[in-house]
Structure 1
Amino acid sequence: MAIKRILVADDEESIRWVLSRALKKKGFSVDLAEDGKQALSMFRSNGYDLAVLDIKMPGIQGLDLLKQVQEEFPETLVVIMTAESTMENAVMAMKNGAYDYLTKPFDLDALDAIILKAQKAAEVSDQIGHLKEELQEQYSFGRSIIGNSQPMQEVYKTLGRVANSDVTVLVTGESGTGKELIARAIHFNSQRLGKPFVAINCAAIPRELLENELFGHERGAFTGATDRKAGKFEQANGGTLFLDEIGDMPLELQAKLLRVLQEKEITRTGGSQTMQIDVRIVAATNQNIAELVEEKKFREDLYYRLNVVPISLPALNQRKDDIPSLVEFFLKRSQEELGVSAIECSKEALSLLKRHNWPGNVRELENVIKRATLLSPNHILMPSDFPGLLSNQSGKNQDESLEGLVARKLENSLAQMDLQELDNLYEMVLHQVERPLINIILQQTRGNQVRTAEILGINRNTLRKKIKTLEIDVKRGS
């Protein structure tokens, strides 16, 4: 927001004239008001980027007008003009949200300096606003969290209900399902957007260091504590703290966390002074917390504090319909990150990806796509670009039933066809199955049609008809 329109409100005509002349020379559009009531009316009619208000005016006083402007036009920057005898009021104005103040009589250079500073502040505010919008868009539901399957629709519904509130959320799901992504989406779609998002993995930090990471320490709290350190709670103040793998938090630390949630205050290690904090908690785990509670490995009272709103993320093998969308998303991301040309995924490769069980969930899929994008010499990914998955499928095929094998092969074949253009699929598939089946039995009976018909369980005349229809060379057995 560049500063273009300025309102000057003062009951002294000479002040209005001087400021108007000086500001117009700088290229600003300037309106003048001789009292607070007129100024408020002009605000409501025109709107301004900056207002210069006298603290003493007829009608509505400057401080009252400041309060009204703050409520109705929070984006407007307000500069208060005051005499030496009313410096206390100037301080009060700053506390109430004024951007700056000028002491009468003032030099016009002082006003220029304030406007220049305000201009830069407005530019920074614009940049922050754009950044907030980008982050909100980046972590919007359906943008970074991909999938339209029924399990994901349930997740979206819950996210929509809780994002704008301050309730504590417990996210559960297998490793790789995207629990931190959900936590970030909650934060960046909440009123805490623009405030810190701080994440800590409770399982990745040794238990003796975890307390220090969460609460920080005072200088001299222990050997080597040469400086004061702010913990994750302090760093996240005003924003969101994501406690990943909360199920691995030691019991003694769970008690301290419970107290923080109840009292909304912390004490650094080695300190005696408490500090008020305003932090929203989103916790996550891949463990069954209810079972840990029964086993006395997790505090029941803390569990209920954290589990205000539960969100359960489905494993990828429970939402395989989302795999095509996820593949498309990861392909685009990999192309941007790796700087490679556009790559697509073939139907055969996509079919292979959909058959895989994905024990590592979405994270595994992302890594597989990134590796294939980087290593493939082609612009279209084929099954051969996923050798790890092919070998897994081969291993499974050794114990695969005949029906499963046929189903898998049939799925591969159908994935390459446009089913909308077919009207004889049933006959076509039957012929493709019958021909090799009859061929194999004829070879094993050395062309004996009577024995072949018996094994197949069909009439000999029916076999002859099929041999003719399917154009099978009985002598060659093919």
Structure 2
Amino acid sequence: MSAYNIFIVEDDRWYGEILEYHFSLNPDYRVTRFENAKDVLNNLYLQPDLITLDFSLPDMPGDRLYQKIREVNSTVPVIVVSSQQNITVAVNLLKMGVSDYVVKDEAAKDLLWNSIIRIRETQTLKNEVIHLKEELRQKFSFEKTLIGQSDALKRIFGMMEKATKTNINVSITGETGTGKEVVAKAIHYNSDRRKGTFVPVNMAAIPKDLVESELFGYEKGAFTGALARKSGKFEDANGGTIFLDEIAELDLAVQSKLLRVLQEREVVRIGGNEKVKLDIRLITATHQNLAEAVKNGKFREDLYYRLMGLPIELPPLRNRNNDVLILAKFFVDEFARQNKMGSINISQEAKSKLLKYNYPGNVRELKAVIDLAAVMCDDNEIKADDITFNSIKREDEFLSEQKTLRAYTCDIIKFYLKKNNNDIAITAAMLDIGKSTIYKMMQDKELS
């Protein structure tokens, strides 16, 4: 750990030497003493961690020197040391931003010692918070939150970058499992609001009769069970970002109240009259078609346009080409690391099988498939037989796959062969095709 750099500014040489000796008893402190304002100003480039400042210097008043120091270094803590016991002077200096005011007397050395310890501990905590937030920002860098190199993903990165530069509302759409909340977090932690709170709210998970109180809060006695005032999610997100997931689930009655909150940029708790001003960034998400919901009268048109802001549509995994293999490698490495399994490879046959699948559950489904394959594999290599797809396909999902008619025919025949325990005669009869057709396709390895 580097030394804690303390500047002592004291024109009384004898008193300054006493302070220097006293502070130097701590081996972690590096103490430098100055006797006038000019010298300390000329050495501020050395980046002191703390300054003790005599209020009565020969070449400049203490309050003026403090202002000069602030012009060069706006964050360094300053403790004013003065023989004056005038409370007005002390109060004015504290209002200006000095960290402490100590009167020169017999107790001054100990008071300064304790003040420095307290200030240093506070600085350490602040630095840890800054470090943790920087780690969080790096964790949510675009390339770490959305894994892949496809053109579709690069377009999303471009939209996310635009979103971070302003406070415009963002609406994220995409199928379930495409990573809508991940994108919302990445936008927040890469924006100017990253020092504020990110408050996620899943609208589908809140009972309809509790949505209003959850979002806007309530006062004590507002309803049965309201035993104390409770802030809502919008208040909790003040200064940061609120993320309303599954926004299409919001009841029409609450939609009108949400619209008013967004228009007025203020919220009133249930049962209260106080208006709480809001400084928030709103991000919403849904897997549904909101425009269609507006047409069907299930979603307010005025709220729809208020929420729309910057629209980001996340592509399904089936449209991201080789991102499947990049994600698979990432997931298997992560699973192996967490479970101390050593390196796990994915065979070429397994990769081919992964690429042929449609992933109706998107990235979330791929992760589940890879985690299971990592458990099932032998010799630290995932083979094709280790990969199991358990998704429940709807008819529209089956038909949404971009395949040739021949490929669809193969899928149908394989499905019924499996269902009929590979009985070719029964399968041919069910599908009203010749047995020779199936034999020929098997010979050509189209049904493997």
Instruction: Give CA-to-partner distance per residue, 1:439-458, whole Å, 9 cap, x none.
Output: x99xx9xxxxxxxxxxxxxx
Deviation at 1:33, TM superposition (A): 3.4
Instruction: Say if 2:373 and 2:388, in contact at 8 Å, map to a contact too.
Output: no
Structure 2 residue 407 is the aligned partner of structure 1 residue 404: yes
Q: How much is the aligned-residue C-alpha RMSD, in angstroms?
A: 3.1
Instruction: Say if 1:168 and 1:282, in contact at 8 Å, map to a contact too.
Output: yes
Is the alpha carbon distance of 1:318 and 1:17 closer, same or farther for their aligned partners in structure 2, counting shifts above 3 Å?
Answer: same
1:1-400 map, 5 Å: 4-27=4-27, 28-43=29-44, 45-55=45-55, 57=57, 61-70=61-70, 72-82=72-82, 85-105=85-105, 106-388=107-389
Is the alpha carbon distance of 1:382 and 1:65 closer, same or farther for their aligned partners in structure 2, counting shifts above 3 Å?
Answer: farther
Query: Aligned partners of 1:320 and 1:401: how far apart in 2?
Result: 17
Instruction: Give CA-to-partner distance per residue, 1:223-272, whole Å, 9 cap, x none.
Output: 11112222212222222211111122222322322333333322222222
Instruction: Give CA-to-partner distance per residue, 1:174-207, whole Å, 9 cap, x none.
Output: 1111010011111211223243211110111112
1:462 maps to which residue? none
Range with bigger deviation, 63-72 or 179-188: 63-72
Query: Aligned partners of 1:228 and 1:151: how far apart in 2?
Result: 46
The letter for the 2-side match of 1:18 is I
Instruction: Say if 1:200 and 1:242, in contact at 8 Å, map to a contact too.
Output: yes
The letter for the 1-side match of 2:236 is Q
The letter for the 1-side match of 2:181 is E
Instruction: Say if 2:78 and 2:98, in contact at 8 Å, map to a contact too.
Output: yes
Is the alpha carbon distance of 1:177 and 1:120 closer, same or farther for their aligned partners in structure 2, counting shifts above 3 Å?
Answer: same
SS class of match (2:299): coil
Deviation at 1:302, TM superposition (A): 2.7
SS class of match (1:229): coil
Query: Aligned partners of 1:337 and 1:209: how far apart in 2?
Result: 38
SS class of match (2:221): coil
Query: Aligned partners of 2:291 and 2:409: how far apart in 1?
Result: 43
Query: Aligned partners of 2:341 and 2:213: how far apart in 1?
Result: 43
Instruction: Say if 2:369 and 2:388, in contact at 8 Å, map to a contact too.
Output: no
Deviation at 1:406, TM superposition (A): 12
Query: Aligned partners of 2:391 and 2:168: how far apart in 1?
Result: 45
Query: Aligned partners of 2:356 and 2:296: how far apart in 1?
Result: 37
SS class of match (2:196): coil
Query: Aligned partners of 2:19 and 2:356: how far apart in 1?
Result: 74
Query: Aligned partners of 2:86 and 2:30: how far apart in 1?
Result: 29
Query: Aligned partners of 1:239 and 1:78: how far apart in 2?
Result: 31
Is the alpha carbon distance of 1:288 and 1:391 closer, same or farther for their aligned partners in structure 2, counting shifts above 3 Å?
Answer: closer
Query: Aligned partners of 1:353 and 1:170: how far apart in 2?
Result: 31
Range with bigger deviation, 334-343 or 84-93: 84-93
2:425 maps to which residue? none
Percent identity between the aligned chains? Answer: 38
Deviation at 1:59, TM superposition (A): 5.6
Range with bigger deviation, 98-107 or 108-117: 98-107
User: TM-score when scaled to structure 2?
Assistant: 0.81
Query: Aligned partners of 2:392 and 2:234: how far apart in 1?
Result: 47
SS class of match (1:284): strand
Range with bigger deviation, 352-361 or 125-134: 125-134
User: TM-score when scaled to structure 1?
Assistant: 0.76
The letter for the 1-side match of 2:19 is L
1:449 maps to which residue? none
Is the alpha carbon distance of 1:308 and 1:100 closer, same or farther for their aligned partners in structure 2, counting shifts above 3 Å?
Answer: farther
Query: Aligned partners of 2:208 and 2:405: how far apart in 1?
Result: 52
Q: Rg bigger for which structure? A: 1
Query: Aligned partners of 2:258 and 2:58: how far apart in 1?
Result: 55
Query: Aligned partners of 1:320 and 1:235: how far apart in 2?
Result: 40
Is the alpha carbon distance of 1:62 and 1:169 closer, same or farther for their aligned partners in structure 2, counting shifts above 3 Å?
Answer: farther
The letter for the 1-side match of 2:196 is K
Instruction: Say if 2:361 and 2:391, in contact at 8 Å, map to a contact too.
Output: no
Instruction: Give CA-to-partner distance per residue, 1:138-189, whole Å, 9 cap, x none.
Output: 1111112111111111111122222243222111111111010011111211
Is the alpha carbon distance of 1:266 and 1:103 closer, same or farther for their aligned partners in structure 2, counting shifts above 3 Å?
Answer: farther
The letter for the 2-side match of 1:190 is S
Deviation at 1:316, TM superposition (A): 0.7
2:430 maps to which residue? none
Range with bigger deviation, 167-176 or 73-82: 73-82
Deviation at 1:122, TM superposition (A): 2.7
The letter for the 1-side match of 2:17 is W
Is the alpha carbon distance of 1:231 and 1:24 closer, same or farther for their aligned partners in structure 2, counting shifts above 3 Å?
Answer: same
Instruction: Say if 1:198 and 1:242, in contact at 8 Å, map to a contact too.
Output: yes
Instruction: Give CA-to-partner distance per residue, 1:332-356, whole Å, 9 cap, x none.
Output: 2222333433212111111111111
Deviation at 1:326, TM superposition (A): 0.6
Unaligned runs of 5+ in 2: 412-435, 444-448
Instruction: Say if 1:352 and 1:389, in contact at 8 Å, map to a contact too.
Output: no
The letter for the 2-side match of 1:73 is N
Query: Aligned partners of 2:51 and 2:31: how far apart in 1?
Result: 10
The letter for the 2-side match of 1:30 is V
Query: Aligned partners of 2:179 and 2:187: how far apart in 1?
Result: 13
Query: Aligned partners of 1:356 and 1:96: how far apart in 2?
Result: 65
Unaligned runs of 5+ in 1: 409-436, 445-478
